[in-house]
Chain A
Amino acid sequence: DTEVTQTPKHLVMGMTNKKSLKCEQHMGHRAMYWYKQKAKKPPELMFVYSYEKLSINESVPSRFSPECPNSSLLNLHLHALQPEDSALYLCASLPRSGGARETQYFGPGTRLLVL
């Protein structure tokens, strides 16, 4: 298994809804990331988990709540989002070896629309 999977692929939610995005990898990777990407813009880092502990929070609003239940799974809980939060949400993971040439592996993303 050499991929990062994300579910759902698409999500439409209202501003009062609570939903969760899920990311999974079974490659034994040591770090997992959440990025937000708006159309025609580069990915923006939101959170980094290293060895299942939150190591970076890029001043993300509290309506986004990450969770890392185990080394293979990363969730992003969404609550009271705004229409401007509509974007592609990408998950990525980094191998445990952490060698200089190791790159992050990206999942296919969840396209989120907030109405």
Chain B
Amino acid sequence: GQNIDQPTEMTATEGAIVQINCTYQTSGFNGLFWYQQHAGEAPTFLSYNVLDGLEEKGRFSSFLSRSKGYSYLLLKELQMKDSASYLCAVRALYGGATNKLIFGTGTLLAVQP
């Protein structure tokens, strides 16, 4: 089956660093994405990993270990606007060239002053 787990909620302080973990068990793994979603808005793309290791993109970094079925999103120098839901999504192949995203439960991050 397909299973993707994240912590439900996290709280952090402005200016600090926070790590949001994601563990997954899926078939047909073809990459892992992180999205940010503010309440009532569409998800926006943050980062992508398909090989093991760290991908850095400004204040955001994402790590993947395929053997462990584990990823994390690291947010540095937290700002109040980073308060949002963070979605881990695994891309799975679904026959031929069709692929689909399977989303984790999402982590609601609250950044406090």
Residues of A within 8 A of B (CB): 31, 33, 40-45, 48, 50, 55-56, 88, 90, 98, 100-101, 103-109, 111
Given A42-B87, A101-B48, A111 contacting B101 (CB threshold 8 A): no
Contact among B44, B50, B98, B105 with A48 in the assembled complex (CB-CB below 8 Å):
B98
Could you give 10 example pairs across A and B, Cβ below 8 Å?
Answer: A40-B106, A41-B105, A42-B89, A42-B104, A48-B94, A55-B95, A55-B98, A88-B40, A108-B42, A111-B40
Residues on the B chain within 8 Å of A90, using CB: 42-43
Residues on the A chain within 8 Å of B108, using CB: 40
Contact among B33, B41, B94 with A103 in the assembled complex (CB-CB below 8 Å):
B33
- Interface centre among B33, B97, B104, by most A CB within 10 Å? B97
Contact (Cβ within 8 A) B101 A98: no
Contact (Cβ within 8 A) A31 B105: no
Closest to A101 in B: B48
B70 proximal to A (CB < 8 A): no
The CA of A38 and the CA of B96, in the complex, are separated in Å by 30
The CA of A50 and the CA of B101, in the complex, are separated in Å by 14
Given A56-B94, A100-B31, A45 contacting B101 (CB threshold 8 A): yes
The CA of A98 and the CA of B91, in the complex, are separated in Å by 12
Contact (Cβ within 8 A) A48 B33: no
Contact among B50, B100, B103 with A56 in the assembled complex (CB-CB below 8 Å):
B100
The CA of A103 and the CA of B89, in the complex, are separated in Å by 11
The CA of A90 and the CA of B37, in the complex, are separated in Å by 12
Contact (Cβ within 8 A) B44 A106: yes
The CA of A90 and the CA of B42, in the complex, are separated in Å by 7
The CA of A79 and the CA of B97, in the complex, are separated in Å by 31
Given A48-B100, A100-B31, A106-B42, A42 contacting B48 (CB threshold 8 A): no
The CA of A59 and the CA of B45, in the complex, are separated in Å by 27
B window 18-52: CB within 8 A of A: 30-31, 33, 40-45, 48, 50
